[in-house]
Structure 1
């Protein structure tokens, strides 16, 4: 199976919701995960007034060199759905240098550094007025997709890169409801099979992460320095948020809303109703950080 990151191992020790399904005071996370009280936390609100156009972001264009995956693992970890691309059937642990890999480089990333795609995660709401972790001028989207990359030029694994300078990059896409997204059918067609926490499905259907990108040219995006949005909330994360959203159908997002936060035959934790939704962290203070934009 594909290499996993350490934050999969802290599942079950934190939650997005409390009694009566109210939003959790996520400042409680800092009691167990000290990085959560840092000053460079994510997500944030992308306010037009706080955004600076930086033409240098286009001098070395952002490029995604994504490859076709013959098999893909999809996993319900009790908090979200995770896609683990398999670059070669049977691959596990550290990949051989000859293994094709999906990477991204350029834009705000350090020159000559390549970031390898490790996994994709999703955050969504019970209703379409909320769900994304980041907001744009205080407006939320129904869903946000996060493509998590690690710097394979400077580090040997996701775990080694976590929390380190230039270690992690997350490319995020907002999602709106409209037409069916054919690129996500590989996921939504199998969500019923991973309805409960701990379930995994290996899908033997070709998947290209390019299908999650809004524009092959990747020209319009915001970028800032932040953190993971889930425990351990490690900082030193470069965020790239694409301006134009993906579109999925109402039926597709409803498949996400049928997922459960608990294992089959187990009770939900802390009086939750067990529905996996509203799995987003509230926006955090900008704290004088600069949000740069590649567009005017």
Structure 2
């Protein structure tokens, strides 16, 4: 984990929707000047260069995630988003003492093939998918919009997903993806509480069937209209330090 809880990133919730895409991820600085900053995300996590910090185990993260009974699943043309309305929070770990971070939404990044898809990499190896659990500091701020761009305002927990056995917690998501085939489609649904480890090959294929455009839209030459490979290239670590709870 990086020393800074906040990383400058493209996927901070609520960013104005400009004409952008993951195809030109290496050139985002032309559209978003802040994307040229020193502390960009994602990064490669190099286990040999990580600094061992046993203190990370002294106080672990304490998630208090409740079953989401009122969620909205959206295909926004860039990703699949789960907009949460039930209050789930996380505290502890490297977070500021006595600060509570509320889970705002979950976003998915996946590849068109299993060899790629995650935003972050581990020793330059990518995973087929990565989930982002986007939180905001509800102790200091009144809303996620207020917390954006502020010190200790946003917390993003990234989870790698590997192809393996079926993940029952994500089953509720993959079952509704057929109703989200095109951009700007959404559905109200109940999502069960989950811990991501593996996802069945047929489950990730449901993501790969999604489209990045509205139904009937004329596609540009060379664009197959399929939603995938929605990850940004890894960025320089700069002067940040990656800490690890293991050796």
Query: Normalized against structure 2, the TM-score is what?
Result: 0.91
- The answer to whether residue 177 in structure 2 is matched with residue 191 in structure 1 is yes
Runs of 5+ unmatched residues, structure 2:
1-11
What is the rounded CA distance, in whole Å, between the counterparts of 1:48 and 1:180 in structure 2? 29
Measure the CA separation in 2 of the matches of 1:198 and 1:206: 20
State the 1:295 CA deviation: 2.3
1:140-169 per-position Cα deviation (integer Å, ceiling 9, x unaligned): 010001100011111111111111101111
Indicate which of 106, 113, 117 corresponds to 2:99. 113
Partner of 1:37: 36
Output the CA distance in 2 between the equivalents of 1:293 and 1:128. Answer: 26
Name the SS for the 2:68 alignment partner. coil
RMSD: 1.5
Give distance in 2, aligned partners of 1:105 and 1:270: 48
2:167 is aligned to 181
Cα distance in structure 2, aligned partners of 1:286 and 1:270: 36
User: Is the 2:26–2:232 contact (alpha carbons within 8 Å) kept by the matching residues of 1?
Assistant: no
Alignment of 1:3-14 (within 5 A): 5-7=13-15, 9-10=16-17, 13-14=19-20
Per-residue CA distance 1:215-243 (angstroms, 9 max, x = gap) = xxxxxxxxxxxxxxxxxxxxxxxxxxxxx
**Structure 1 CA distance, aligned partners of 2:173 and 2:231?**
20
Q: Structure 1 unaligned runs (5+)?
A: 18-23, 88-100, 215-245
SS of the residue aligned with 2:19?
Answer: coil
The CA deviation at 1:68 is 1.7
For residues 268 and 152 of structure 1, what CA distance do their matches in structure 2 show?
42
Number of aligned residue pairs: 236
Question: Deviations 1:181-216 (Å, cap 9, x if unpaired)?
Answer: 00001100000101100000001x3522xx1x25xx
Please give the alpha-carbon distance, in whole angstroms, between the structure 1 residues aligned to 2:100 and 2:242.
22
Distance apart, 1:177 and its partner CA: 0.6
